[in-house]
Structure 1
Amino acid sequence: MAGSRKGWIVPERHAEGRRTEGLVTVEEFLERVGVSRRTFNRWRELGTAPLAIKLPKGQLRMRQGDVESWLSDHEEAAA
């Protein structure tokens, strides 16, 4: 089972020893970025949200690396 670090799921190792990248839930993303679920859904409709993986039961997860890249792409220099 993956541990948690500052609200993010940290990578875990499968039984075969293969390392998997941590996955972020929508709720973790919303808390980190400070936006509502409605805003996130609108970003998804517009194609501007981080890429998400849809699990078999309809839950969404985002790769931690994709979220970090998305955040970097949206950085602005302080005015």
Structure 2
Amino acid sequence: MSTSARKRRQPADELLPLTVVLEELGITRASWYRWRNRGQCPRTHRLPNGHLRVRRSDLDAFLADMEVS
């Protein structure tokens, strides 16, 4: 098999746990939920077990928007 036949896949858009997102943003969980209630946070995804996740691309876009503002 040639190297061109074995194409490398792009990494999947990782779903980050809320603790990682909070750490990257440098905010508390209370601030996160306040922002979320106001519609001022990245889009979240709820897993079947109830945990929240944020896609890496959504977090990066949110941070880019914050820098522009």
- Calculate the TM-score normalised by the size of structure 2: 0.79
Matched, 1:34 2:26: yes
Give the structure 2 partner of residue 24 of structure 1. 16
Report deviation, 1:76: 4.9
Task: Give runs of aligned pairs for residues 1-79 of structure 1, distance below 5 A.
Answer: 20-76=12-68
Amino acid across the alignment from 1:66 = D
Provide closer, same or farther for how the CA distance between residues 25 and 48 of structure 1 changes in structure 2, counting only shifts above 3 A.
same
Higher RCO (CA-CA < 8 Å; seq separation 6+): 2
Structure 2, unmatched stretches of 5+, are 1-8
Task: Pick the structure with more helix per residue.
Answer: 2
Q: Which structure has the larger Rg over C-alpha atoms? A: 2
Count of residues in Structure 1 that have an aligned counterpart in Structure 2: 61
CA RMSD across the alignment: 2.0
State, as a whole percentage, how many aligned pairs show the same letter: 33
For structure 1, the residue ranges without an aligned partner over 5 or more in a row are 1-16
